[in-house]
Amino acid sequence: MTRFALVLLVLLISSCSSVPLRTMLELSSFDKDDFANIQPKDLRAKIQIDEPLRADITKAELALELETAQGLQVFNFPLVLLEELKIAPVSGLFSSSAGKTEYTLKLSDIAMQNFVATQQTMRSELAGNMSFSVKTSVDNIPREITEIRLSIFLKLSEEKGFMTLFDDAKLAVTHEG
pLDDT tens column, 44-66: 999 999 998 899 999 999 998 88
| 177 has pLDDT over 70 | no
Cβ neighbours of residue 68 closer than 8 Å, sequence gap 6 or more = 125, 126, 127, 128
In a domain, 53, yes or no: yes
In a domain, 177, yes or no: no
In a domain, 129, yes or no: yes
**What's the whole-number average pLDDT of the chain?**
80
Task: Give percent of the chain with pLDDT exceeding 90.
Answer: 33
In a domain, 25, yes or no: yes
| 175 has pLDDT over 60 | yes
pLDDT per position as a tens digit, 10-37: 433 334 445 555 655 565 567 778 888 9
Cβ neighbours of residue 35 closer than 8 Å, sequence gap 6 or more = 119, 122, 130
**Beta partners for residue 135, in sequence order:** 61
pLDDT per position as a tens digit, 63-97: 988 877 778 888 999 999 999 999 998 887 777 77
Q: What band does 3 get if pLDDT is binned at 50, 70 and 90?
A: very low
DSSP class of 41: G
Q: Distances from the Cα of 68 to the Cαs of 50, 124, 129, 144, in angstroms?
A: 37, 11, 8, 44
Domain that holds residue 44: 18-172
pTM of full prediction above 0.95: no
- The number of distinct structural domains making up the chain is 1
State CA 3 to chain mean position distance.
Answer: 32
In a domain, 142, yes or no: yes
pLDDT at 9: 35
In a domain, 122, yes or no: yes
Higher pLDDT, residue 159 or 139? 159
In a domain, 8, yes or no: no
